[in-house]
Structure 1
Amino acid sequence: MIKINKSALTESDIISKFILPAVKQSGWDDMSQIRQEVKLRDGKVIVRGQMAARKKVKSADIVLYHKPNLPLAVIEAKANKHDIAKGMQQALDYAGLLEVPFVFASNGDGFVFHDKTNPAALETEISLDDFPTPAQLWDKFCTWKGYSQAQLPIITQPYHDDGSGKMPRYYQLQAINKTIEAISGGQDRILLVMATGTGKTYTAFQIIWRLWKARSKKRILFLADRNALVDQTHQNDFQPFGTAMTKVGGRKVDPAFEIHLALYQALTGPEEHQKAFKQVAPDFFDLIVIDECHRGSAAEDSAWREILEYFSSATQIGLTATPKETDDVSNSDYFGDPVYTYSLKEGIEDGFLAPYKVVRVDIDIDLQGWRPTKGQVDKGGELIDDRIYNQKDFDRTMVIDERTQLVAETITSYLKRTDPMAKTIVFCNDIDHAERMRQALVNCNPEQVIKNDKYVMKITGDDELGKAQLYNFINPKKKYPVIATTSELMTTGVDAQTCKFVVLDQNIQSMTKFKQIIGRGTRINDKYGKLWFTILDFKKATELFADERFDGIPERVMTVKPEQINDDDDTLNEIIDGNSHEELDATAEDEQTIVGEPDADYDFPPADEADGNSGPLGSDEDEQKVRKFHVNGVTVKAIAKRVQYYDADGKLVTESFQDYTRKTFARQFASLDDFTKRWNDADRKQAIIDELANEGIIWEVLEQEVGKDLDPFDLICHVVYDQPPLTRRERANEVKKRNYFTKYSDTAQAVLSTLLDKYADAGVQEIESINVLKVQPLDQFGSPMEIVKNGFGSKQDYQQAISELEAEIYRLPPQKQA
């Protein structure tokens, strides 16, 4: 029998020859229990300039499952030249994402077993023959979780598999499992907080599917406040329910169906005869899922809350990206604390959500204010109130045509410089502002509007033509409309997958609303090249990014009277104990206020139409009329513009890409000597180039900023270490002057000379792949095998010649040496 030299084996060999046999020998013979190369993240998108690239991410080598919806353990393998525990840190990271207690690392000699269920012996070493059986890990897992026998049929019910290979992402699986676990344990009010674009509806479908298939919940109601949300759900994620599902219409609840999708507006109204939900008994529904529960249903005095209270015996699950906590509205008071939260920052870090850059534009009159002259009248002849008008007033109580024009010109200029066909949402203060902005943008883009008059559309609740174009705007396959001006209609519930440009010319004070608006751009669509988006901010709204509430737990706002503070009862103690992050702040008013988020959100009223097929899509239709002055002839200009990027720490920073590159290199290399030694020692320069790209160095952007056709090596030497740069052509010419090719055969000289020209044209990456021998003009020397054999003798000799060529390329000429 031939003895295997383990130290010479690759990581893949170690897995196939030692780890998998040991696992299968222990009873893991059902391949649905074993998954290899499990990719948990997509890779964070790094944005610089107008380019973006994904960070490369590693996959978990092996994940073991009790069933496809129940991961139990992670195994991380390393080649045998490494220590047996080498992969443990990496495995613990994956296990943290999956929240599994069993973690294994191996180099093929045995396993290091990290067992969170056994704190007394947290990490032990076991032999290949002692790998735990499926029953052993499942029993330990159930004990660790505290599952009862009654819970197991529900917990082990598989999620829906459509056969396409699509599986819930790790955070979706967490949300599904935690919800199922809570319900199986008797909890009847559940809150899930998941950032916009992370698949809340798909997650809800899988929860409902598992409960329905386990017959734990037989009649289910999915509630939303917008027709578009119900239709999207019915046609897409919920489609597998088939004939068991219906959309409630005509104010009639049909008991023949088990899965009901409904608008609040279709189930209730101000009149008793409109309350269709009362057609069935209070115990008719076993489960109610409320989409966007931060809106109408969250308010205690909402007409829509009565639906939830009528079906109070049903388990109720609230879904939201932005839990709402104010003095009038509290998601946590009704649903309890979230059973799972997946934030915007986590989504961006994992590469499931699009990062953003912010372009802040400051306008002189916004910052300095504008005051009318004495006795000045507006365009309608009305005397203007004599005071200083500032940023909060413009387009709400004071309209200045030149300001509108400047904003439209700035938007147009940005689109022309980047992509005139980039889907763009312009958030305005009200419908009037949205219409004026539409007109200004039309006049700024005559060449585009002539091609298609729907290039710019006002999409607001009062405009039937505009609302009819909403589907076309959010459909990636439809080119038009390109620019949508709106006020409230598109703040939520609009799945704009390819929106690349969000313009803020609206006064935004509510954190809930801000998160929803930013969420319009956070979806990624690789197919259509949507990896990131830009926020153009004219109203300082993006200062909310610096607010600690932006990605954290929402603040509570609670109003209490002075006598409550003095009372000895438990009321105030419960408030403070339950919300320890709140601050009690005395105000000038005759009461005490717990400081928190201002409530500028809108709770949607019932629809006018009784069939539930229309209804309000936002607060546009109910804007309160305010006195508004309208003037022109004012000189307006932009006085500052700055670009900010979302960095690795989740902060917006203002910097050039060259500054970013310098900081990145400071973490990687202590000096120029360290970098040049690493570069020269590398067998393949491409490996270093790829490694730096993974750290966010986008070479094309750096080259654009420097403005020279430089090799990555020279870009770094010049930008980071202030060395005089040499272009690729200059380096190639220096090699030719040294005439070092003469030691090779005529064929080899011709090949190397041609490769040197290839380097000058396209860079070192071009010459490092042997595939370059297949393309013109190198193919005239024969096939790659013939070139290698006739010119160099062997593949090893050819690779040695390439290494020597690279050494000559990066050898500094005499005049550059110091």
Structure 2
Amino acid sequence: MDSRERKTLSEADIKTKFITPAILSAGWDEMTQVRREVTLTPGPVVVRGNLSSRNKKKKKFADYVLQKEKGVPVAVIEAKDNNHTISGGLQQALGYADLLDVPCAFSSNGDGFASHDKTVPDGQDIEIEFGMDDFPGPGELWRRYKAFRGISDAQESLVTEPYFDDGSKKEPRYYQAEAINHVIEKVAQGDKRLLLVMATGTGKTYTTFQIIYRLWKAKRVKRVLFVVDRNILADQTLVNDFKPFGSVMTKIRNRKIDPSYEVYLGLYQALTGPYEEDKIFKSVSKDFFDLIVIDECHRGSASDDSAWKEILEYFDDAIQLGLTATPKETKYASNITYFGEPVYTYSLKQGIQDGFLAPYKVVRIDIDKDVQGWTPPEGMTDDLGNAIEHREYNQLDMDRVLVLNQRTKLVAERVMKLLNATDPFQKTIIFCEDIDHAERMRKAIVNAAGPLAKANSRYVMRITGDSLEGKAELDNFIDPESKYPVIATTSELLTTGVDAKTCKLIVLDKTINSMTTFKQIVGRGTRIEESHNKFFFTILDFKKATELFKDPEFDGEPVVIYEPEDGDDPVPPDPEPGGDDDDDGDGDEGDTPKKFVVSAVGARILGERVEYIGEDGQMVTESYRDYSRKGIRQEFASLDDFLQKWNRAKKKAAIIEALAEYGIELPNLAREVGKDYGDFDLICHIAFDQRPLTRSERANSVKKRNYFTKYGDKARAVLEALLDKYANEGITSIENNNVLKLDPFKQLGTPVEIINGVFGGKAKYEEAVQELEVELFKQAS
């Protein structure tokens, strides 16, 4: 095939005729080692207003990923058509290689390969080009991968131990595979203290299962203890991700470790306690477990004085893997000091940018008594007759020291206003200062919800550590298939460890000073659940807690702030009464200061501000219209550029689909601008400030012209009916020939009779439709 002919081929043809044969000729196994058209990330979800869509322009899609074994990638290849240079796709391939942490990236246009190799010795060229017959084989690229990742020949068998495969086509997401592979490699290299940082909602349990399974199957470990701090987590793990372990797995019950199993799930509370007889982990030998996995290790296990840490110290010869979404680095506790630097980190920011995690919008609400403060008159008493201390009370005091019942009512009414305007049955968590506040908020929501609360008494439930009825409903609250409870009021119970997949609204009426607590709360909403139409979540903030988003620590690299020296007391001081003590516990509060309860003092909202997470991870104030304007102008440099491309397009749907790749859904814009405007006018108006015409105005303008005189009666009837169709439904409806099967067209004949009999064939019918479109869009304003 000569070069001119090759330039007429599509990228798909180049892959089929040249690139794939070259790879297979080099010895790569097509079934097990070559993955084609691999979606690495789906593209971020964009949320503006109450609308969301994916920005598919930012989807990451590799033409080829070459792997040693399933889940162990070694190289990436990017294909281009022959109108590109050989290295035209190399930068793109390098981006994917960095994502997968592999040393080799390749690009090809069918004439040859361009290569980038991070393992070449100093002084040699990092990037070279070579012919189609010289692509490196599996052995060579595996050699480079081992050199890049520091894997010795002796460690190779463990590193290549296969993933669990149930026969489905499920592959670990790229970051899950990276987390798994990095842990396995570190174990192969002899490391025994490992920390894995993965944002909430990114599949830590599935990742953990594959790590344990591969180490167990390779006989590197025989007995494994997976320690969690919530009964519900242990039960979910048993029946979900860990189910393949079957009969070799057990949950530690009845304060007894049965030695006849190999994989154990245990609660901290079931393994240890304040008294020696509670420490059942000591009933087995110190070498009983070969691997201990600590879930949520940002909690007490990171602290030198923690009772949980004695479990780790007792089995100190075992491999110990800590899992956390929020590395805990405070003056008194550091899991990095104990476990070492994370072997892999996948952050909330990265998860949102990739499109695996749900973005958030923040509605910040200022209440007058919070912002301006309130000072009681001299001698004023509360509802119970207690003298109220004469001083100014502000946001920090609300619901901790001072309870304004009208303020609680105001918050509840604002929550219900948002729910009623969107979906009154979206799962909602309201975080309150303490149990008392959570109960008062429950009652206020009942009153604000009115008929919704009447219809089902479980519409809102208080779920706190002291409420047996509330805790009994926790499973139903987190079950995506269970309608009730809809709203949970809580203080601490739902900050961590509860997988509320369909939670769409998080309400913060709680003072939060702890970054760990804040991250855990935000994590309650980060899961995407497409089957339940959950692509983003809203944070309704009454206490300025979301100011923590601006803190570099929110999604920055964890650092050790403090490492105790000899003589230092690692025990933190008692928290201030009513203060935020960074306890992610179950809602059992200690002594609280006396509260003054006042019903007669009103409260009102001073202002609201809506912000969204931007593409750079920073919070921005931007409407859907502003976002769309930016995206349209990225696609079309000017109004003239748009008009030329619109008029040249045989199918206007192609332009509409191109904008949808940016996450710009024109029906969403129509809801803001006006549902009677067509796609053409929406684009011209939003992006280029043109005065829009409605679809009906455009259709009627065409009907008034002499445009139809060259057509016969039947052809004119068809075209006028198409104009009516456009006026009612838009441009894409008349571009689809199936429209001829509908009224009023079917009264004029079948689609074949209309196309062939009336217009003289498909080409002439399509030409007539295109001429009609030219008439429709003759003017841009």
The separation in 1 between residues aligned to 2:290 and 2:752, in whole angstroms, is 70
Q: Which residue matches 1:218?
A: 222
Matches within 5 A, 1:147-296: 147-296=151-300
Unaligned runs of 5+ in 2: 569-578
Q: Which residue of structure 1 aligns with residue 774 of structure 2?
A: 807
Distance 1:61 1:426, change over 3 A: same
1:577 is matched with none
Deviations 1:66-106 (A, max 9, x none): 11121112122222233322222222222222122222212
1:81-100 equivalences in 2 (<5 Å): 81-100=83-102
- Does 2:22 align with 1:22? yes
Higher mean C-alpha displacement, 802-811 vs 737-746 = 737-746
Aligned pair partner of 1:401 in 394, 400, 405: 405
2:511·2:580 contact (CA, 8 Å) conserved in 1? no
Q: RMSD of aligned C-alpha atoms?
A: 2.2
Q: 2:704 aligns with which of 722, 730, 737?
A: 737
How far residue 782 of structure 1 moved from its aligned partner, in angstroms, is 4.8
Q: Work out whether 1:7 is the aligned partner of 2:7.
A: yes
1:378-777 to structure 2, matched below 5 A, reads: 378-554=382-558, 556-558=560-562, 600-602=580-582, 618-707=585-674, 709-777=676-744
Find the aligned partners of 2:99 and 2:746 in 1 and give their Cα distance. 49
Please say if residues 48 and 622 of structure 2, whose CA atoms lie closer than 8 Å, have aligned partners that are also in contact.
no
Mapped to 2, the partners of 1:288 and 1:779 lie a distance apart of: 71
Amino acid at match of 1:255: P
> What residue number does 1:103 align with?
105
Q: What is the alpha-carbon distance in structure 1 between the residues aligned to residue 747 and residue 25 of structure 2? A: 55
> Separation in 1 of the partners of 2:515 and 2:467?
27
1:73 is aligned, of 72, 75, 86, to 75
1:366-413 Cα offsets, whole Å, 9 max, x none, are 001111111111111111111111001000111010000000000011
In structure 2, relative to structure 1, the CA distance for the partners of 1:765 and 1:725 (3 Å cut) is same
Shift of 1:427: 0.4
Measured at CA, do residues 775 and 95 of structure 1 come closer, stay the same or move farther in structure 2, by a change above 3 Å?
farther
CA distance in 1, matches of 2:53, 2:241: 29
Q: Which moved more, 1:240-249 or 1:709-718?
A: 709-718
**Equivalent residue number for residue 333 of structure 2:** 329
In the aligned structure 1, how far is the partner of 2:161 from the partner of 2:563?
A: 45
Give me the whole-angstrom Cα distance separating, in 1, the residues matched to 2:779 and 2:79.
Answer: 42
Match of 1:124 among 124, 128, 134: 128
**What amino acid maps onto 1:113 in structure 2?**
S
The alpha-carbon deviation at position 799 of structure 1 amounts to: 3.0
Residues 495 and 637 (structure 1), Cα distance of their counterparts in 2 relative to 1, 3 Å cut: same
Distance 1:775-1:62 versus aligned 2 partners, 3 A rule = farther
User: Deviation at 1:517?
Assistant: 0.3
Decide whether the 8 Å contact of 1:602 with 1:619 is kept in 2: no
Tell me which amino acid in the other structure corresponds to 2:36: Q
Q: Give yes or no for contact 1:524–1:532 (8 Å, CA) kept in 2.
A: yes
How far residue 786 of structure 1 moved from its aligned partner, in angstroms, is 4.4
Tell me the alpha carbon deviations over residues 506-547 of structure 1, each in whole angstroms, 9 at most, x when there is no partner.
000111110100110111100010111111000011111111
Q: State how far apart, in whole Å, the 2-side matches of 1:775 and 1:58 are.
A: 40
* Contact kept in structure 1, 2:182 and 2:343, CA below 8 Å: yes
The reply on whether 1:298 has 2:263 as its aligned counterpart is: no
Distance in 2 of aligned mates of 1:144 and 1:324: 30
Distance apart, 1:631 and its partner CA: 0.8
Equivalent in the alignment of 1:50: 50
Q: Distance in 1 between matches of 2:173 and 2:744?
A: 47
- 2:313 counterpart of 1:309: yes
Match of 1:61 in 2: 63
The question of whether the paired residues in 1 share the 8 Å contact of 2:197 and 2:344 is answered with yes
The equivalent of 1:790 in structure 2 is 757
For residues 7 and 670 of structure 1, the distance between their equivalents in structure 2, rounded to whole angstroms, comes to: 28
- Distance between the aligned counterparts of 2:547 and 2:157, measured in 1? 49
Aligned CA distance change for structure 1 residues 59 and 668 (closer, same or farther; 3 Å): closer
For the 8 Å contact 1:406–1:636, the answer to whether it is kept is yes
Q: SS at 1:162's partner residue?
A: coil
Match for 1:114: what amino acid?
H
Map of 1:607 onto structure 2: none
Quickly say closer, same or farther: Cα 1:462–1:3, change in 2 above 3 A: same
* Aligned-partner Cα distance in 2 for 1:778–1:353: 46
Q: Secondary structure at the match of 1:371?
A: coil
Change in 2 beyond 3 A, CA 1:628/1:535: same
In the TM superposition, residue 199 of structure 1 has moved relative to its aligned partner by 0.5
Classify 1:68/1:786 alpha carbon distance in 2 versus 1 (closer, same or farther; 3 Å): farther
1:391 and 1:499 map into 2 onto residues whose CA distance is: 27
In structure 1, distance between residues paired with 2:94 and 2:3: 33
Q: Give the TM-score taking structure 2 as reference length.
A: 0.94
| AA aligned opposite 1:117 | T
Secondary structure at the aligned position of 2:107 is classed as strand
C-alpha separation in 2, matches of 1:786 and 1:344: 58
Residue 38 of structure 1: how far off its partner (Å): 0.8
- Kindly provide the amino acid, as one letter, of the partner of residue 26 in structure 2: S
Distance of 2:350 and 2:427 partners within structure 1: 25
> Is the aligned partner of 1:368 residue 2:335?
no
Counterpart Cα distance in 1 of 2:777 and 2:3: 44
Counterparts in 2 of 1:29 and 1:665: CA distance versus 1, 3 Å: closer
Q: Using a 3 Å threshold, how does the CA distance of structure 1 residues 677 and 220 change in structure 2: closer, same or farther?
A: same
AA partner of residue 239 (structure 2): Q
CA distance in 1, matches of 2:611, 2:302: 35
Residues 39 and 774 (structure 1 numbering): CA distance in 2 closer, same or farther, change over 3 Å? farther
Look up the SS of the partner of 2:73 in the other structure: strand
TM-score by length of 1: 0.90
Between stretches 19-28 and 346-355, larger displacement belongs to 19-28
Give the secondary-structure state (helix, strand or coil) at the position aligned to 2:153.
coil
- Which segment drifts farther, 480-489 or 795-804? 795-804
Q: What CA deviation, in whole Å up to 9, does each residue of 1:225-273 have, x standing for no partner?
A: 1111111111111111111111011111111111011001111111111
Counterpart CA distance in 1 for 2:750 and 2:137 is 53
Say if 1:95 and 1:778 are closer, same or farther in 2 by CA, change over 3 A.
farther
1:356 aligns with one of 353, 357, 360: 360
Aligned-pair CA distance for 1:666 = 4.5
- Measured in 1, the distance between the counterparts of 2:150 and 2:49 equals 51
Kept in 1, the 8 Å contact 2:32–2:70? The answer is yes
3-state DSSP of counterpart to 2:358: coil
Q: Secondary structure at the match of 2:145?
A: helix
For 1:643 and 1:434, the matched residues in 2 are separated by 25
Q: Which string of whole-angstrom CA distances, capped at 9 and with x for unpartnered residues, describes residues 108-145 of structure 1? A: 22222222222622222222211211122112222333
CA contact (8 A) 2:435 2:589 kept: no
Count of matched residue positions in the alignment of Structure 1 and Structure 2: 767
Structure 1 residues 741 and 107: alpha-carbon distance in aligned structure 2, compared to 1, 3 A threshold: farther
- What's the CA shift string for 1:265-304, capped at 9, x where partnerless? 1111111111100011111111110000001111110011
Of residues 85-94 and 541-550 in structure 1, the stretch that sits farther from structure 2 once superposed is 85-94
- Is contact 1:155-1:180 (8 Å) kept? yes
Distance 1:621 1:380 in 2: 25
Report deviation, 1:656: 2.6
